[in-house]
Amino acid sequence: MPQKKNRVAIVGAGPAGMSCASALANHPDRFDVTLFDIASYTGGQATSISLDEARYGAEWLNDGVQGGSPIFRHTFNFFHRYGYEARPVKLQVAFGKGVESFFTNVFPSPLVDELSDEIRKLGRVLKWIKRLLPILGIMPVKTIMKLFRFSEDFANKMVIPIMALFLGTGNQTPNVSAALLERLFDDPNMRLWEYDPDTLLPNRPTMYTFPNLGAFYRDWAADLASKGVHLRLNTAVELLQRDKHGITLRPRPTEDSPTAQAVGEACAVDDFCEKYDELILSLPADEAKALLGKHATWRERFVLGGVAFYNDITITHSDSAYFTSIFETRYKPDLSSKAKASSATRQEQIAFAERQPPIATEDGWEGFAPMYFTHSFARAPRCIEMGFDCSNYQHQFRDSVGEGGVSLEAERHVYQTIYLNDQQKHLWTWESVDPAKIIAKKWWRQFGHRWQHYLRVVPGMMFINGRNRTTYAGAWTMVNMHEIACISGLAAAYRLGAAYEPFDDFAEDLFAKYLLVSHGVRYKRRQ
């Protein structure tokens, strides 16, 4: 007699939900998988938009998730399965605007010289945070800055912008756990730079830009469908029952059409509702809590309620005059350090930056061509705006000019300016963007890595995961990375009995660590 299949409902078709469905689909004899999403596409925030190739030099742009570090092994593995590859790029960043607040990882600046004593002091503090991680690590960054008597300039101009940009913590960075500051420089799984007592950011690290995410997720979804996964887009779900007998859901099409209305009316009858054995919630924590409603346990309400979300908007545009007015986009002699310019290394760095216009290479640009930017507000120095020069960062733009080619004119670049936390929109400069040069606007809901997140949410996940026929997945379970989202989906599938397929020792170790922290389960390695 054939074994009864477990009916699994996955709600949320972002990278976490897709990864989970992918692992379960490898066991068609054991799992019958249905993947729901309220959107009309898969991928969550990993989306792409079309561009005018004649004007911008590329026909597509990743406008949400853009890239990651070399540790994104599971992400890259999924890309490779479907014929896509991430591309390396030597990262250049530009923090601040004007001589008094600018610094970069490309060449020395006056600010680095001015704050050199505090940069060296930070190295000692990072060691103390590591030694006393359970105590100092849980403290918010703003408390650590005061406790060790760092200046406001050092905290606001260097530490907070670095963390905000690379951890995606935005304007909640002062409230972020200090453990993330230590991990940013010391953890081989997270760091981009090893701490440098001279410049803080010593080099141009290798990052990876993602392939066309819209096309990739469409191919991935098509493959899952061919393996028997029931993909239900444009569909919201309501939880009617969750007990020892199973899960009862009421799906509702989201389109305002006669068909959707008819299905909505029919769902009032139990025959049109659906029974499942297991529920995977790969949704933002607050949406998962809302879906559970009265069915949530006190533990679920406590853990899920500890995740704070904020509304940000990204404006994709080609307004180079506006972008240059708030960020340092080109090399200027007064931005480079004079005090230490005599050293051979410093002279070499400045000579590199002076090569204008930048020349395309296989993995970046020769010449100062920053890709990530921040600037702070004079009246709120711990609040920032973030930006990307996508034409400098994403590889398809370099491909258009070819290796050795000259960067396109600034007016043909595609920029993104990210305005953080709509509760502080009175600070935003978005009204200065030329409306005629706006390509797209998108609102995002981002979770803040507040210190409470690492005191309440991350350690609490193991007490709600896999209980009450419900498992959780998503980057919010730990840290905001596409890679963590993928790992969380694979871990959810593993908890249901799907195999984890090892392909890389580093990736397998990262999976095992996530599984232990988020699920309280030890990974059993294959012999």
For residue 324, give every residue at least 6 positions away whose Cβ sits within 8 Å of its Cβ, in sequence order, or none.
Answer: 330, 410
Partners of 208 in the β-ladder: 68, 88
Compute the distance between CA of residue 242 and CA of residue 297 in angstroms, rounded to an integer: 11
Q: Which of 326, 330, 308 is nearest to 317 (CA)?
A: 326
| HSE toward the beta carbon, residue 76, CA cutoff 13 A | 18
Strand order in the sheet with 308-317: 103-104, 93-95, 372-377, 380-389, 415-419, 308-317, 438-448
pLDDT surpasses 90 at 525: no
Task: Give the mean pLDDT of 14-38.
Answer: 97
What would the pLDDT profile of 381-432 be if each residue is shown by its tens digit?
999 999 999 999 999 999 999 999 999 999 999 999 999 999 999 999 999 9
pLDDT for 7 beyond 90: yes
Of 69, 49, 42, 60, the closest CA to residue 395 belongs to 60
Peptide bond into 357 cis (omega under 30): yes
- Residue 96 Cα distances to 236, 471, 503, angstroms: 42, 42, 41
pLDDT tens string 501-518: 999 999 999 999 999 999
Q: What is the mean pLDDT of the chain?
A: 92
Q: Are 160 and 173 spatial neighbours (Cβ–Cβ below 8 Å)? A: yes
Residue 496 · residue 484 · CB < 8 Å? no
Shortest CA distance to 6 belongs to which of 27, 36, 35, 20? 27
Rounded percentage of the chain residues whose pLDDT exceeds 90: 78
Range with lowest mean pLDDT among 126-135, 336-345, 369-378, 456-465:
336-345
284, 378 contact by CB (below 8 A): no
**Residue spans of alpha helices (H) in 381-481:** 390-393, 395-401, 451-452
The bridge status of strand 60-62 relative to strand 48-50 is antiparallel
Q: How far apart are the first and last CA of the chain?
A: 31
- CA 282-303-137 angle, to 5 degrees, is 105
Give the model's confidence band at 265: pLDDT under 50 very low, under 70 low, under 90 confident, else very high. Answer: very low
87-105 residue pLDDT tens: 999 999 999 999 999 999 9
- Give the 3-state secondary structure of residue 371: coil
- Torsion angle, alpha carbons of 418, 420, 426, 429, to 10: -20
Alpha helices in 6-83 (DSSP H): 15-24, 53-56, 73-81
Query: Which residue stretches of 206-356 are H helix?
Result: 213-226, 258-266, 285-292, 298-304, 320-326, 344-353
Task: Quote the pLDDT of residue 271.
Answer: 52
pLDDT of 222 above 90: yes
- More reliable by pLDDT, 329 or 338: 329
SS3 400: helix
**Alpha-carbon distance 28 to 518, whole Å?**
26
pLDDT at residue 74 greater than cutoff 90: yes
Which pLDDT does position 167 carry in this prediction?
A: 78
Cα 135 off chain centre by: 27
Q: What is the pTM of this model?
A: 0.92
DSSP, collapsed to helix, strand or coil, labels residue 204 as coil
| Domains along the chain with CATH numbers | 6-46+213-308+451-519 (3.50.50.60), 48-209+310-447 (no CATH)
Q: Who contacts 197 (Cβ-Cβ below 8 Å, separation ≥6)? A: 119, 120, 123
Q: Report, as an integer, the average pLDDT of 141-169.
A: 92
Higher pLDDT, 228 or 180: 228
